Amino acid sequence: MEGCSKCGGKVFYTRRYSGESLCSPCFSASITEKTRRTIAKHDMIRHGERVGVAVSGGKDSLSLLKVLHDLSAGHGSHLVAISVDEGVAGYRDEALEHVKSLSAQLGVEYLTVSYKDLFGFSLDEALNWGGKEKRDVSSCSFCGVFRRRAIDEAAVKAGVTVVATAHNLDDYVQTFMMNLLHGDVSRLGWMDPAYSDDSFEIRRVKPFMEIYEEEVALFAFQAGVPFQSVSCPYMHEGLRTEVRDYLNRMEAEHPGMKNVLLRSSLDVISRYAGTDRRASVSCAVCGRPSSSAVCSVCRMKETIKQHINYTG
Ligand code: SF4
Ligand code: ZN
């Protein structure tokens, strides 16, 4: 059997889409290098910046923290790990412990914010009414709106100028497909890697957006990143699961198809970039940038308020 394409060592992983075989150290180095190139190509992180890394405690985000830490010397950047505690009993605690210990190990600043402190209720409390069949949004759509705001609040608190999230290539192309399937073509412009919200000073970037999910998982395994044993009891992905399965089948039959879809997505997205600027007014309730008179966070808070004994 042939050895590693780079050093001739014992093969650990073969990239079916490129035919490249890599030993374990060369594979890890390739992930770090690929991330560095993505960052440079899309001008994601600038020299000397204070960078927030959104770390949920899952394998992808812990790997991102590790890779960005390895790259931080070259970028002259200073990292702050940012975590959100949604308040789901028995689920988030384990993940937050992982974030805390990896941050300490790497000597990275660590900041956590909670739904309870920011919004006045935990996710458990927010979802504990009516039964999910009575709510017109899924738990994850609900949670996602608050999570995004929580990360923004944490980023402001941490004094960072950019926030990196661990979305990988699979996440990116799935979102692209979901927007098409939902008929949300106008949202495509928001997916532009260079997109920035005019009225929110902090940029959002996805340094893993050119790396397959499978490769991030392998990197995590190799790097000894802990895997979470409990999953969120509210997880509801619906259509996304079907899209993921479909794309995985396509990739198995036609290696490299996800890479092609990424390139096509970026091409289409670039044509929509800047055509639908999201934030135009200030929310009448909280003052944050919003595309409607009252932002989605405040609207959802209002709905929750009507259903639970809310004091926030
Ligand atoms: Fe929130 Fe869904 Fe993630 Fe649970 S799985 S923490 S509900 S986004
Ligand atoms: Zn608001």
Residue 86 clears pLDDT 90, i.e. is over it? yes
Read off the pLDDT of residues 33-52 as tens digits, 9 standing for 90 and up: 999 999 999 999 999 999 99
Distances in whole angstroms, Cα of residue 23 to Cα of each of 10, 26, 31, 212, 216:
5, 5, 12, 18, 15
Give the nearest ligand 1 atom to 232 CA. Answer: 4
Ligand 1 and 250: CB distance under 6 A: no
Residue pointed to by tokens 């923290």: 65
pLDDT value for 142: 82
Ligand 1 and 233: CB distance under 6 A: no
Which ligand is nearest the CA of 301, by number? 2
pLDDT value for 195: 73
Centre of ligand 2 to C-alpha 199, Å, is 14
Centre of ligand 1 to C-alpha 147, Å, is 9
Centre of ligand 2 to C-alpha 198, Å, is 17
- Own/partner pairs for 21-24, CB < 8 Å, 24+ apart? 24/222
Q: Which residue has the higher pLDDT, 226 or 65?
A: 65
Read off the pLDDT of residues 51-75 as tens digits, 9 standing for 90 and up: 999 999 999 999 999 999 999 988 8
Centre of ligand 2 to C-alpha 297, Å, is 6
* Mutational test site, ligand 1, from 127, 234, 237, 300, max ligand atoms within 8 Å of CB: 234
- Residues whose CB falls within 8 Å of the CB of residue 217, separated by 6 or more in sequence, listed in order: 59, 60
Give the nearest ligand 1 atom to 236 CA. Answer: 2
Q: What is the mean pLDDT of residues 151-179?
A: 96
Q: What is the mean pLDDT of residues 124-151?
A: 77
Read off the pLDDT of residues 4-26 as tens digits, 9 standing for 90 and up: 999 999 999 999 999 999 999 99
d(CA 142, CA 145): 6
Whose C-alpha lies nearest to ligand 1, atom 8?
140
Q: What is the mean pLDDT of residues 283-301?
A: 89
Whose C-alpha lies nearest to ligand 1, atom 7?
140
Mean of per-residue pLDDT scores for the chain = 90
- pLDDT band at 269, cuts 50/70/90? very high
Task: Give pTM, 2 decimals.
Answer: 0.91
Residue 239 clears pLDDT 90, i.e. is over it? no
Least confident of 66-80, 134-148, 173-187, 223-237: 134-148
Q: What is the mean pLDDT of residues 196-202?
A: 74
Residue 132 clears pLDDT 70, i.e. is over it? no
Whose C-alpha lies nearest to ligand 1, atom 2?
140
Residue 89 clears pLDDT 60, i.e. is over it? yes
Centre of ligand 1 to C-alpha 237, Å, is 9
pLDDT value for 136: 58
d(CA 126, CA 159): 29
pLDDT value for 312: 53
Centre of ligand 1 to C-alpha 211, Å, is 23
Ligand 1 and 162: CB distance under 6 A: no
Distances in whole angstroms, Cα of residue 169 to Cα of each of 13, 27, 155:
18, 17, 24
pLDDT value for 277: 56
- pLDDT band at 214, cuts 50/70/90? very high
Sheet of 78-85: strands edge to edge?
Answer: 109-114, 78-85, 50-54, 162-164, 203-205
